[in-house]
């Protein structure tokens, strides 16, 4: 068992970059009901989401800041172009899915960033989802007003 454990740690340290013939790295990110397919390649820092610029797609500056957090944590601001398609959920969930996808794509492109991305919590998939509505209730946990008489 110890041999298997040591081989897994050595493979992480000497992990090979996963880059296609066009110089891109691909990953999938998910958050709530959103799913993002992300491609990154070296560039000027342009981010295209569903064929729109990030400033057009995410009107709120908070969502743009969330997407750029990965690059700030790894000191790669303005070094990579991002092209992604995202579906499902709302804008907040989509921003989280894009962050997860960018982090995984960066990890594939440059495995030396793995520890930084893991420490920042960017590689962990946030598995929280909306709780389902229960029968006999107006929402998941809300109850109708109780009347004693």
pLDDT at 6: 52
What is the per-residue pLDDT across 1-46, written as a single tens digit (0 to 9) for each?
555 555 555 445 678 888 888 889 999 999 999 999 999 999 999 9
Beta-sheet strands, E only, within the chain: 25-31, 34-42, 47-49, 52-53, 80-87
CB 100 within 8 A of CB 29: yes
What residues are paired with 52 via a beta bridge? 49
Q: Is the pLDDT of residue 116 over 80?
A: yes
pLDDT at 12: 55
Q: What would the two tokens of residue 40 be?
A: 């990154």
Q: Is the pLDDT of residue 48 over 60?
A: yes
pLDDT at 4: 56
Residue 105 CB neighbours (<10 A): 26
CA-to-CA separations, 110 to 13, 97, 121, 135, in angstroms, rounded: 11, 20, 17, 49
What is the per-residue pLDDT across 62-113, written as a single tens digit (0 to 9) for each?
999 999 999 999 999 999 999 999 999 999 999 999 999 999 999 999 999 9
pTM of this prediction exceeds 0.85: no
Q: What is the C-alpha R_g of the chain?
A: 20
CB 35 within 8 A of CB 97: yes
pLDDT at 5: 56
Q: Which option is the CATH number for 19-120: 3.30.70.20, 3.30.230.10, 3.40.50.2000, 3.30.360.10?
A: 3.30.230.10
């Amino acid at each position: 068992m110890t041999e298997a454990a040591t081989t897994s740690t050595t493979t992480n340290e000497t992990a090979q970059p996963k880059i296609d013939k066009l110089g891109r790295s691909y990953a999938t990110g998910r958050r709530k009901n959103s799913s993002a397919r992300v491609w990154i390649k070296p560039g000027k820092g342009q981010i295209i989401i569903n064929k729109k610029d990030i400033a057009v797609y995410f009107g709120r500056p908070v969502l743009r800041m969330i997407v750029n957090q990965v690059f700030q944590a790894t000191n790669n601001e303005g070094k990579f172009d991002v092209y992604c398609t995202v579906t499902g959920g709302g804008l907040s969930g989509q921003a989280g899915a894009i962050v997860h996808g960018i982090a995984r794509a960066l990890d594939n492109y440059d495995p030396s960033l793995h520890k930084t991305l893991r420490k920042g919590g960017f590689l962990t998939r946030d598995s929280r989802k909306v709780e389902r509505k229960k029968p006999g209730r107006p929402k998941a946990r809300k109850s109708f007003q109780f009347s004693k008489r």
